[in-house]
A and B are shown apart, each in its own frame.
Chain A
Amino acid sequence: MNRKFWVALSALALIFGAFGTGIVAAQSPTVVTVWFHSGQGAERDALTAILDRYNASQSVYRAEATQLPEGSYNDQVNAAAVANALPCLLDFDGPNVYNYAWAGYLIPLDDYLAQVPDLAADIIPSIIQQGTYQDKLWSIGTFDSGLAIWGNKKMLEAANVRIPTSIEDAWTLDEFNAALEALRAVVPADGYPLDLKMNYGAGEWFTYGFSPILQSFGGDLIDRTDFQSADGTINGEAAVAAMTWFQGLFKNGLTSATPEDDNVFKDGKAALSFVGHWVYPEYSAALGEDLVLLPMPKFGEKAATGMGSWNWGITSTCAAKDGAWDLLKFLLAADNVKAFADASGAVPALTSVLEADARYAEGGALNIYFQQLVGGVAVPRPQTPAYPVITRAFAQAVDEIAKGGDVQTALDKAADTIDRDIANNNGYAPRN
């Protein structure tokens, strides 16, 4: 290199250096970087509006948000963690928190939450349950999820099917089977009784939505006493019975593994839709008074349903952790929790908001979700760092079973995949 080059480079460095100090001297707000998954339209808009309000409300911190596509969100978070490029505050699908906490890229929130006892007391128990791993709280959601069955009242009445209104009088397996058969007669020729949202594809939905069926039959994804083995549980007798029944739905034409699109229930081509709270805004717009929410059936001794949803964590590499907490606190403000729940139909994470919401009160459109969450029906997904592998293995098994594969073989394969992963990670022993 010649001298001129170095002179030019030094000059450039001087100019930029000067600009740099200028920026610092101006005392601009501390930037808090935020990542969130781009979910349903209404949810996304509500969150964007809340972040805008946050930036307008104060000048100490400024939230800079990036939306990432939901499908590969977990991959992107992992890649960013490797590259040391995680944002300060990020949301993630609930059960991934255990893996993130184990890997060490989240900080516990207990100390922060202890500073605001009013807020701590207001958060509903299921949110705390989901965010807890190794006795510390690693994440907080602004809403919880609800999973039950949406029904088309007109069709249910036409088929003379009993409509349960509480978790106590939920359908039994025999009743559910009979209802499905009766509904065959009232759905149009190109429709079917039950929509399972198989169009979501082999991903988190398969685990969130269908592992409660295993649990209700008496099985589970993994032995939860020590989270060391799935063999004998995910492929045990109860699980095989559950998934054999599940496969029967497809074999008998009661549902479809390849729905035409996302609108089967809205278009009146299915009488029941087995899906979570997030469809509530569009379903109620399409069906109005004909939309009813039915509790999860009791496939075995007791009913089971999913819980937990997207929640927020603060990263250990964040330079502005206090800012990230300040923003998270803002997201958890009653108004914002309410705004988000109104937009998405999700269960608000604050008892105060939940109790004030007529939709969750007795007789309200979403009351079943409330009953399931407080009535012990909801089961958290396995609280282990092995969760990402568990969910992939189970989703793949569900995919194979829905397409007609041998149930025992598919579940055996899932059990081996999970157990091999746990062995490869020395049992996912907790840090220190």
Chain B
Amino acid sequence: MAVTTPPRRKPSLYDGERRLALLMLSPAALLLLCFLLIPFFMAFGLSLTNQRLISPNPTEIIGLGNYRELLDVRFFPLAPRLDPDTNAPLRDAEGNLVYPAVREILRADPETRFFRELAQIDLFGTRYLIAASDATFWRALANTFMFALIVVPLQTAFALMLAMLVNQKLRGMNFFRTVYFSPVVTTMAIVSVLWFFMYNPDFGLINSLLGVVGLGPFRWLEDPRSALFSIIILSIWQGVGFQMVIFLAGLQEIPQELYEAAQIDGAGRWRQFTNVTLPSLRNTTIFVVISTTILAFKLFVQVDVMTFGTGGPFDSTATTILHLVNQGYRQQRVGYASAISVIFVLIVLVISVLQRRVLTNREV
């Protein structure tokens, strides 16, 4: 998602230069218009309809129906089941209160007929059921944020570490640079297939290696607790080389005199890193963080390949884009998928703007 911010000070251009500027801007502006703005407005228009991918039925305008189906979340206070004889609350073998089956409650009202449970929480002594019209969407959103929250800092830190490693002036360093960069040029689909085999709980390379030191076996992709984590590891492995190269370029831009001056002032390696390297890499870091964030939010290919498009087990690896593709293509609900995409664009837009604010406002 490209975000254009207006320049802070209006540059004074002569007439001719202004025309030249507009001319040079026009190809990019035209592309943005055709492939970003127009599709976005088309998606917004479609999101107000029940447009299907293929259907003999005419498309109807349904207003905010798609958004309601997508975003509707309701809270139900749950009353514990009572013993029909004594009217005292029933308790299970462990002494916990017994609550009625969620599906029965939801199906009692035609409006919440297709809702699914998101969670149950205890508040002030009452049990509440949180149910969503599209539970998968909320899980997908939570997974996507979780993925970004873990991947962005980790991948940025790893990338910087690798960049500093391969920035050493040693023989054969180009070899290591190539090795660390090679996953980036490998297609994600292929990387995903390879890691799928490596994650096999019984025969995979990873469990075999861990088995040597007495760990495991882990059910990486089969266990809902570790499935997203498994996707995170492979994503960082695949993506880190790209950020490494950007950091490497940033590192090589730093004038050597700064380090010499710091050494004369008595700075050790750590002080040199925190007081010379990091501040000099400020703009590089901003770029890396923002681009990694946007890439993280677009998480799709790995999950689609490794879970056969299910986002499973139990929505534990569902992501916003996967849900969008599943709804729009595989369930042919173009109108509904458009609503997802509009919400998604708004979320990413807000995050990008916030990030820019936070990262660029501090003057060095």
Contact = CB atoms under 8 A, between A and B. Distances in A.
Contacts, number: 76
Interface string B24-65: 000000000000000000000000001011111100000000
A257 B326 CA distance: 24
A78 B334 CA distance: 12
A388 B222 contact: no
Contact of B54 (A103, A412, A416, A424): A103
Interface string A350-389: 0000000000000000000000000000000000000011
B53 A202 contact: no
B250 interface: no
A173 interface: no
Contacts of B332: 78, 388
Contacts of B223: 403
A202 B307 contact: yes
B272 interface: no
Interface stretch (B80-88, B160-168, B199-207): B199-207
A75 B310 contact: no
Interface string A320-341: 0000000000000000000000
Interface string A67-108: 000000001001101100000000000000001001111000
Given A202-B308, A419-B114, A403 B313 contact: yes
Interface in A218-276: 256-258, 260-261
Interface stretch (A54-62, A163-171, A392-400): A392-400
B222 A257 contact: yes
A160 interface: no
B176 interface: no
Contacts of A75: 329-330
A203 interface: yes
B164 to A, nearest CB: 39
B327 to A, nearest CB: 10
A389 B331 contact: yes
B313 A82 contact: no
B312 A202 contact: yes
Interface string B192-232: 00000000111100000000000000000011000000000
B57 A405 contact: no
A4 interface: no
Contacts of A421: 331
B91 interface: no
B331 A392 contact: yes
B103 interface: yes
B309 interface: yes
Contact of B55 (A103, A201, A260, A396): A103
A258 B230 CA distance: 16
A369 B307 CA distance: 32
B222 A258 contact: yes
Of A75, A78, A396, A426, most B-chain CB atoms within 10 Å: A396
A420 interface: yes
B116 interface: yes
A102 B50 contact: no
A399 B313 contact: yes
Given A416-B114, A431-B56, A399 B310 contact: yes
A411 to B, nearest CB: 11
Nearest to A235: B103
B202 A392 contact: no
- Binding site secondary structure of chain A: helix
Contacts of B203: 258, 260-261
Contacts of B50: 424
B333 interface: yes
B119 to A, nearest CB: 15
B75 interface: no
Given A82-B53, A403-B222, A416-B114, A203 B308 contact: yes
Chain B: number of interface residues, binned into ranges: 20 to 34
B116 A413 contact: yes
Nearest to B223: A403
A425 interface: yes
A424 B309 contact: no
Contacts of A403: 222-223, 312-313
B76 interface: no
Interface in A158-199: 190
Nearest to B330: A392
Contact of A78 (B53, B312, B313, B326): B53
Given A103-B56, A412-B103, A260 B313 contact: no
B314 interface: yes
Contact of B310 (A256, A396, A424): A396
Contacts of B55: 103, 425
Contacts of A104: 56
A256 B116 contact: no
B247 to A, nearest CB: 36
Contacts of B307: 202
Interface string A408-432: 0000110010011100111000010
B200 A399 contact: no
B194 to A, nearest CB: 14
Nearest to A77: B54
Interface string A2-26: 0000000000000000000000000
B54 A81 contact: yes
A10 to B, nearest CB: 26
B218 to A, nearest CB: 12
Nearest to A406: B314
Contact of B201 (A78, A258, A419): A258
A405 B308 CA distance: 17
A421 B309 CA distance: 18
A78 B54 contact: yes
Contacts of A419: 114
Nearest to B201: A258
Given A82-B53, A392-B326, A405-B313, 13 more contacts: A78-B53, A78-B54, A190-B202, A202-B307, A256-B202, A258-B222, A260-B200, A396-B312, A399-B308, A399-B313, A404-B222, A416-B116, A425-B57
Q: Which 6 A-B pairs have the closest CB atoms?
A: A201-B308, A103-B54, A202-B308, A260-B203, A403-B313, A420-B114
17 contacts: A75-B330, A78-B53, A78-B332, A82-B53, A102-B56, A103-B54, A105-B54, A202-B312, A258-B203, A260-B202, A260-B203, A388-B331, A412-B103, A420-B114, A424-B50, A425-B55, A431-B56
